[in-house]
Chains A and B, each alone.
Chain A
Amino acid sequence: MSHHEWTDDQPIVSINNVHKSFGNLEVLKGISMDVMKGEVICIIGPSGSGKSTLIRCVNALNDIQSGSIKVEGLEVNDKDLNKLELRKKVGMVFQQYNLFPHKTALENIMMAPIKVLKQDRAEVEERARGLIAKVRLQGKEGAYPGELSGGQQQRVAIARSLAMSPDIMLFDEVTAALDPETVKEVLVTIKDLAEEGMTCMLVTHEMGFAKEIADHIYFTDRGVIVEHGPPATFFDKAEDPRTREFLSQIL
């Protein structure tokens, strides 16, 4: 298995010339990027530019037609891919939180490590309580998702992903469905994670936030990466007219 050969000095996620179509509609037209361990990258771009599709391909929620995505050396575009092994490495947080409504916040966090990883319940509970504290939701352990605000639900969702001890976290427009006043609490949680050295790939519309936490920013439009660079140069010295137009509209 090739992924055992992966070492820290190689990209933890390596995307190479990825093409992806839904029917006749080609949404990714040859995307390449490398993400190093501990890096935070933000993907921005107009709606329909394929940015969500791209990160969903990283944990094989979407399959790709051609190209290669390697996660810690594990080839995602492989019919014999062990998806469970991949998903233990990659955590994902969604725009719509997708908490399990019939379980409490604590149970949401504990379920997968117990049922999937077969870890010891007491040990998992201790870790889950730690994660609740980490996302600043002490006292909400027994609350059902329906009783929590959007921002609180999203933080539970982040904790739920973290409970699987992933090496990489994917954030798919996680603040897009939130009330403006709860956006910040979620962003603070993500920032904490980034500062602890978690490898993060974010699709976001929060430009200020992207500028603040990203090591590298990718601008996608119509299925290709138009321009990319570290925030300082990206925001101030964008060269491509499409990037400039987008930034002028959104900033």
Chain B
Amino acid sequence: MLNRKTIPGINTEPQTRFAVLKPFNATAAGEPEDLLFSRWLASTPLWVWAILIGFAIVWPSLSFAASTYSTADAFQALLRWIPFIVTGGFFFNVIISFFAMFIGTVLGVVLGLMQISPAFYIRWPAQIITQVFRNSPWLVLLFIVLLALPYEIEFGDTVIRIPDWVKAVFGLCLPIMANIAEVVRGAINSVPSGQWEAAESLAYTRHQTLWQIILPQCFKRMSPPWMNWYAILTMATPLCSLLGVEELITLSRQAIEAENNRPELLVPFYGFALLIFFAYCYPIARATIALERRFAVKL
């Protein structure tokens, strides 16, 4: 250990200043803990599908036994509303998740790189920002953004209204940014310090080392946790319904209301919402785990 060189911002192990919260020196990207969600989702056995479908079909049919409203009626209602719920609602969840992921990734990469800066005045604020946004409840961030952003922006005479879904994108991209920053930092730290030293002894500058030697090796390590966070983000998009964004859950509720608020409709409609999220995220989780296995073998 004597010979191990400490590179500023790298290989140092900053301690968290928030004792009860997530540890600051998170596990390196690609390590099991990092992919907990994808691992769990991808390992979902087929009988879970059966149970999910069961929730949407069998349970309501049983409850209809005593009711005048038949199962067929409930499912006809659902079928009637599916195009509306999917094209108008789930489509929005996907759009929001795409934009939030894109912006969150761009900001997160910048923040992650700032965290390994040798200059403390760059590293330190980046660490604080990361900690704050990683440890804030997503819903709270959503509300803050909703209230902090103006309802509309005026450019001279033109008034541009900021739609709620745009605010939701900004709200959701904040925790994503912070978590991607940790993924980036973790991936960079997981590259053995010998790589830095080898580059250094070949007269590379720190900047050249980072961009030509270290980051290309990080890309593979970062992709599985990055996809993991995308799946988690997508699952979190129904939070936007609380902001009034017309996404899947909001539209499902509207549809149920349009069907006279029948309680028998709750399980089929929300069961369908569950199914659609599962169907969207399950392949992502499988791909994440497959990718992770492949990279684990190769590197």
Chain A interface (Cβ < 8 Å from any Cβ of B): 22, 25, 27, 48, 52-53, 56, 59, 61-62, 83-84, 87-88, 90-92, 94, 96, 98-102, 111-112, 115-117, 146, 157, 160-161, 164
Q: Which residue of B lies closest to A87 (CB)?
A: B203
Contacts of A27 in B (CB 8 A): 2
Contacts of A22 in B (CB 8 A): 2
Where chain B touches its partner, the secondary structure class is helix
A88 touches B3 (CB 8 A): no
Contacts of A48 in B (CB 8 A): 2
Q: Which residue of A lies closest to B203 (CB)?
A: A87
Given known contacts A53-B3, A115-B208, A116-B208, A98 and B203 CB-to-CB distance under 8 angstroms: no
A116 touches B3 (CB 8 A): no
Q: Which residue of B lies closest to A88 (CB)?
A: B203
Q: List 30 A-B contacts (CB under 8 A).
A: A25-B2, A48-B2, A52-B2, A52-B3, A53-B2, A56-B3, A56-B5, A61-B5, A61-B201, A62-B3, A83-B203, A87-B200, A87-B203, A91-B201, A92-B201, A94-B198, A98-B194, A98-B198, A100-B195, A100-B198, A100-B213, A101-B217, A101-B299, A102-B216, A102-B217, A111-B202, A115-B208, A161-B201, A164-B202, A164-B203
Nearest CB of B to A62, in Å: 7
Complex formed: what's the CA distance from A116 to B202 in Å?
8
Interface set, chain B 186-236, CB cutoff 8 A to A:
192, 194-195, 197-205, 208, 212-213, 216-217
Contacts of A88 in B (CB 8 A): 203
Q: Which residue of A lies closest to B220 (CB)?
A: A102
- B204 is contacted by which of A91, A115, A157 (Cβ under 8 Å)? A115
B197 touches A115 (CB 8 A): no
Residue in A48, A116, A157 with the greatest tally of chain B CB atoms within 10 Å: A116
Q: Which residue of B lies closest to A25 (CB)?
A: B2
- A112 is contacted by which of B195, B202, B216 (Cβ under 8 Å)? B202
Q: Does B161 make an interface contact (CB < 8 A)? A: no
Residue in B5, B197, B198, B217 with the greatest tally of chain A CB atoms within 10 Å: B198
Apart from A53-B3, A100-B199, A157-B198, 7 more pairs, CB < 8 Å? A25-B2, A94-B194, A98-B198, A100-B195, A115-B204, A117-B203, A164-B203
